[in-house]
Structure 1
Amino acid sequence: MIKSKQPESGTVIDFTELWQKSRLLITDEFVSPPVIVKVDDSIICTLGNFSASTGKAKSKKTFNVCAIVAAALSNSTVLNYSASLPEGKRKILYADTEQSAFHCLRILKRILKLADLPLDQQPESLEFLSLRKYSPKIRLAIIEEAICHTEGLGLVIIDGIRDLAYDINSPGESTDLITKLMQWTDERLVHIHTVLHLNKGDDNTRGHLGTELNNKAETVLQVTKDELDKDISSVSSMYIRDIDFNPFAFRINSIGLPEPVEDYHPKQAASQKGFDYHEVPEARHQEALENLFADAELISYSSLIDKLQKSYALVGYSFGVNKAKLLKVFLENKRMILKDDKSYRFNLDFHF
């Protein structure tokens, strides 16, 4: 029997017991996880999993999340979200890490209006936490305490998951945080929906935390402000395990609530910005960058684009100058290359 004492908590872990509990047999039977949120026939959220809304600053991500919460609160359809939380899992926890208490109250009122509920009475099934004033470690502990001690909890919103980490580019911290989400959803049979920003220079989620979120989430929704009409935001799936849904759009009406935009057709240009995360596999990035920096530790920007084109062509990917510039932004955002004064160097410890 192998046991280990964890230095952080002093807890003794029996790895033999964990090994036995982790065994999966062909004779095991499991019930499909309950679906709690859909868009048309597409499954967005199930109990025991987590998802995310992402978008650039001011794209109206929180308005989109308010619609999801209002649908879950009323077990009805709001915007294009149809919610059906089962009996015994009807409670909702909303944790906001960014806004002041004043602005959090506006969000809460918006949710109640969308759910057609009175504004002078707190719903028993909804708890709202304003966590802006706390450190990332304390925010995480408060959310964990609420999740573990709220009976009947079905849906958890973490609006600002970036604020639960000190460094979103830390592979270790990002993995630990995503592991927490998987632990909470598995042990408490809840769904957690998070909110994370996209990079300014492209359409990739921010940092190593964003990469881990994309890899593990059930669904990642992308909220995009329309280029030709700034009052309109569209919602599409960046990643989804289920069948995809047709993008839809909303605008903010005269009373400050999101309402559907009928017959919306997304602008293709918006979805084609930036360098696609899936366009080149990690191994090919590694090979190309090793070739690029084989003869010099530092490369100036003036020669970087040309050298990127040549090194990626050697591994089977030919890019024009504009695409190579987008690639450079992608590599920098992912911290695969690091800027050192006016030159760039290869980050051997990058996390794809």
Structure 2
Amino acid sequence: MMDANELDVLWHTSQIRVTDEIAVAPEVLFCNGSVIGTLGNFSASTGKAKSKKTFNVSAIVAAALINGEVLRYVAEFPDNKRTVLYFDTEQSPYHCQKVIRRALQLAGLPLDRHPDNLIFAQLRAQVPDIRLEIIDRAIATTPNVGLVIIDGVRDLMFDINNATESSRLINKLMEWTDKYQIHIHTVLHLNKSDDNVRGHVGTELNNKAETVLQVSKSTTDDEVTEVSASCIRSMDFAPFAFRVNDYGLPEIVENHTFGKASKQQVFSYNELSPDQHREALELAFADGAIKGCQNCEDKIKAAYASCGYPYGDGKVTKLKTFLMNKRMIVKENGAYQFNRDFYY
């Protein structure tokens, strides 16, 4: 607990006046001409397993290493922010080294000498709180850090559905980026059943990240990966596609036709506001818990329609999956219940 004097200092230093001169956050990462990363903020890549998220991140790292263009990414870090810290929480040392080699090849750098501005750490053997402490110490003590990659941000916590733990982790990302004026890019998996980011931490990430890139397999060609922005504060960019060539490197697929089928199969998290969901769910669960999957869907369909959001049977099924992924609805003791303490 802080004493009154410490709180007074924080209170006064937190105030902003219209006459203050505040510098614009330096823009350091771009995609197809749009800003996707600034110093003092964080972003994320999301995608399902085997969608080639790490290949995409390798291109971002490669662009940062040379402060140039790789794939469709452009990096423009200041001279005193050229060091890249990369933390991998999932892969073995062998596979981590493959990621390093891929990034260097994409950047056109030699493989017989490790670049001075890349520090790569493999943290799979550590527990979440130790991983967090290592990253904290590394950021604080490494000179000239501009970009930090955390490949496997969910491994910095024990329970991805724990509201307190999720909020603390996202607050830590905001603390690091603000205090050290760096950009952090994280990687998080999507649910297998839909295109929603996993757990409570995924919801927090969507709410607070500057940009969320969605990396997904093409619906028309299994060898092609598509990259688009599912959330972005800046102007949206045109999606691009890549495939892995015979050398194991991602390369742009020109004139790719982007299918819309995959986006039509899910319920978008920003289609309705939290208050709109709460209004409908209060009505659906007015009589308490609901037993039976079909009965639950029927109640949801009727309630949302009464609130002015009529959905067909197929959309209601996807809506119910979405509500459960977001833990707005939970299943306990064989019955569906409305979680009135949900955090959207």
1:264 maps to what in 2?
Answer: 256
1:92 equivalenced with 2:100 (yes/no): no
TM (norm. structure 2) is 0.97
- Out of 222, 229, 233, the residue aligned to residue 230 of structure 1 is 222
- Using the alignment, how far apart are the partners of 1:189 and 1:304 within structure 2? 48
**Over aligned residue pairs, what C-alpha RMSD do you find?**
1.3
Runs of 4+ in 1 over 6 A off after TM superposition: none
Indicate the residue corresponding to 2:2 in structure 1: 4
Q: Over residues 216-237 of structure 1, what are the superposed CA-to-partner deviations in whole Å (9 max), with x where a residue is unaligned?
A: 1111000010122111001000
What percent identity do the matched residue pairs reach?
A: 53
SS in 2 for 1:307: helix
Amino acid at match of 2:55: F
Q: Which whole-Å CA distance do the structure 2 matches of 1:19 and 1:151 have between them?
A: 30
Q: Is the 8 A contact 1:112 1:118 kept in 2?
A: yes
Q: Residue 67 of structure 1 aligns with which residue? A: 59
Q: How many Å apart are 1:13 and its aligned residue?
A: 7.5
Q: CA deviation at 1:186?
A: 0.5
Q: What is the alpha-carbon distance in structure 2 between the residues aligned to residue 168 and residue 309 of structure 1?
A: 29
SS at match of 1:256: coil
TM superposition score normalised by structure 1: 0.95
Which of 112, 115, 118 matches 2:110? 118
Q: How many residues align?
A: 344
* Aligned residues of 2:289 and 2:335 also touching (Cα < 8 A): no
Matching residue's letter, 1:4: M
Stretches of structure 1 lacking an aligned partner (at least 5 in a row) = 6-11
Cα deviation, 1:160-182, whole Å, max 9, x if unaligned, reads 10101111111111111010011
1:24-63 to 2 correspondence within 5 Å?
24-63=16-55
> Is contact 1:159-1:194 (8 Å) kept?
yes
| Separation in structure 1 between the aligned mates of residue 17 and residue 320 of structure 2, nearest angstrom | 46
| 2:79 partner SS | coil
Q: Which residue of 1 aligns with 2:204?
A: 212
Report the more deviating stretch, 52-61 or 271-280: 271-280
Report the secondary structure of 1:138's partner residue.
Answer: helix
- What whole-Å deviation, never above 9, does each CA across 1:55-87 have from its counterpart, x for those lacking one? 111110000000000011011111000111111
Quote how far apart the aligned CAs of 1:341 are: 4.7
Secondary structure, counterpart of 2:300 in structure 1: helix
Equivalent position SS for 1:111: helix
Q: Is the 8 A contact 1:301 1:342 kept in 2?
A: no
1:280 to 272, 290, 297: 272
In 2, are the aligned partners of 1:309 and 1:324 still within 8 Å (CA)? yes
CA deviation digits over 1:89-117, x for unaligned, max 9? 10000000111111111111111111111
Q: Deviations over 1:234-282 (max 9, x none)?
A: 1000011111111000000001000000011210112222111111111
Question: SS at 1:114's partner residue?
Answer: helix
The alpha carbon displacement at 1:43 in A equals 0.3
CA–CA distance in 1 between the matches of 2:265 and 2:128?
Answer: 32
5+ residue gaps, structure 2, are none
